[in-house]
Structure 1
Amino acid sequence: MRENLVIIPTYNEMENIRQIVAAVFELSVPFEILIVDDGSPDGTAEIVKELQSQHADKLHLIERQGKQGLGTAYIRGFKWALEKGYAFIYEMDADFSHNPKDLERLYASCKFESFDVAIGSRYIKGVNVVNWPIGRVLMSYFAGVYVRFITRMPIMDPTGGFICYSRKVLQAIDLDRITFVGYAFQIEMKFNAYLHKFKIQEVPIIFTDRTRGESKMSTKIFREAVLGVIFMKVWSWFKKYEHYN
């Protein structure tokens, strides 16, 4: 079985893609990378293809037509990872808001501490966010308070997108029934893992806002998360979840 696959969705990340690939491959723990590119008009996929000549067996690419959303990109990547037999599958942004060095800490949580899900958490030890305006920090923090109130998940950073899933978690979750595509996707995945009673650990990280490229956050994505949490909780009342711990 292959061990570590980092899934990085991209849309117009030509300013970051070379550096993020290099940073992951420089780590002492071996990681492979799967880029899921949504037809970036800036040529992100072409750069990845160029880099593949240097990293033939470690750098993989899925090209999709048009901007289809974060959630669908990860679902496509999860299915590919399960098909190829990876033991640990990671979510990470391309813009260095997630420090690639923290991948090793997420790996250690799942590999050596036997957690099923490791979340790179901005809020497990205070507020560890750099370069965000105070309004966005407050919106993100209180979104977590709201999610915990509705779902009862004891997770301080339910909207975070820096995560390691063990293979059995993604096999247990019905990926075809994950409905949200924006930040609500991150909540929905964690909620499913929580209801299946998988062991979840939050690993403290420092989140640094991107310095290159443009943010993909929008009011539509935020609205989906706010309303989606309520619908997600209601739907959970009508479904049975097998318990794994």
Structure 2
Amino acid sequence: MVIPTYDEAANLAWIVGRLRAAEPEIDVLVVDDNSPDGTGRIADDLAATDPQVRVLHRTGKEGLGAAYRHGFAHALAAGYDVIGEMDADGSHQPEQLHRLRTALEDADLVIGSRWIPGGSVTNWALHRQALSRGGNLYVRMLLGISVRDATAGYRLFRRSTLERIDLASVRSTGYVFQTDMVVRTLHAGLTVREVPIEFVERERGDSKMSGRVAGESLRRITAWGLAERREQLRRRWHR
């Protein structure tokens, strides 16, 4: 399970402990972007006492997608057949990971979804819910996909999925990375399944998602989505 971190000193040991307790056989890879609050040192301490925890130290904050690409590439090189992603802040509950693992039996990518029946969010203001729901509706309309929570970050990929979509060709660095990976998986003719989860707003530390970040993500999705639509039309025209 790949866990990217930036200033998560208050949460990292807590969430890794929960994950190791809930799923003892799962290995953990912390990808830290040189957190100034000492998160990287905490990750090193965890790895020193638990052989199933490893750490990748990056030189600076380069975006969520860049951290995941680095972590995924490391896991592929290490030979893992299933590679996952989750947040370090407790919003993704390790105790619900079994839902994703079960669904992966007949899927290529599984998403823990807030916005399908049975999914929910806890401690989110109404405007945050509206922003997420509206953003996902916009993604579905713009890109012509049916996934209800394409921006979600609780996921399991098969190794074959990441190889099929050519991870090395992915250039998304920020939050648009999540949507990019969904679309690439669907375009490769692979199966994406969503399972309901309860998303819990962080209790400690500061959220990395702000109005500015959300706006930038929306602009990037729009530009990328329009380019994708143009390419779809070009392919149809030249058939």
Verify: 1:94 aligned to 2:88, yes or no.
Answer: yes
Aligned to 2:98: 104
- Is the contact made by 1:10 and 1:44 (CA closer than 8 Å) also made in structure 2? yes
Partner AA of 2:5 in structure 1: T
CA distance in 1 between counterparts of 2:61 and 2:7 reads 10
Of 47-56 and 195-204, the range deviating more from structure 2 = 47-56
Aligned to 1:124: 116
2:143 counterpart residue number: 151
Question: 2:54 is matched with which residue?
Answer: 60
Partner residue in 1 for 2:8: 13
Which position in structure 2 is the counterpart of 1:75?
69
- Paired residue for 1:33, among 19, 28, 32? 28
Equivalent-residue separation in structure 2 for 1:72 and 1:201 (angstroms)? 24
> Structure 1 CA distance, aligned partners of 2:50 and 2:141?
45
The answer to whether structure 1 residue 218 and structure 2 residue 210 are counterparts is yes
Greater helix content: 2
Q: Check if 1:43 corresponds to 2:26.
A: no
Q: List runs of 5+ in structure 2 lacking aligned partners.
A: none
Q: Which aligned pairs between 1:176-215 and structure 2 lie closer than 5 A? A: 176-215=168-207
Match of 2:224 in 1: 232
Asked if 2 retains the 8 angstrom alpha-carbon contact of 1:182 and 1:224, the reply is no
Query: Which aligned runs of 4 or more in structure 1 are off by greater than 6 angstroms?
Result: none
Asked whether the 8 Å contact 1:37–1:45 carries over to 2, the reply is: yes
The whole-number CA distance in structure 1 between the counterparts of 2:152 and 2:138 is 14
* Cα drift, residue 149 of structure 1: 0.2
Amino acid at match of 1:49: D
TM-score (norm 2): 0.92
For 2:169 and 2:218, how far apart are their aligned partners in 1?
19
Identity %: 37
CA distance in 2: counterparts of 1:186 and 1:99, whole angstroms: 18
8 A contact 2:31–2:55 mirrored in 1: yes
Alpha-carbon distance in structure 2 between the residues aligned to 1:230 and 1:187: 11
Secondary structure of the structure 1 residue equivalent to 2:81:
strand
- C-alpha separation in 1, matches of 2:169 and 2:227: 11
User: How far is 1:152 from its partner?
Assistant: 1.0
Q: How many residues align?
A: 233
CA RMSD of superposed structures (Å):
1.8
Q: Contact 2:113 / 2:119 at 8 angstroms: preserved in 1?
A: no
Which segments of 5 or more consecutive residues in structure 1 lack a partner in the other structure?
Answer: 1-5
3-state DSSP class of the match of 2:106? coil
Cα displacement (A) at 1:35: 0.3
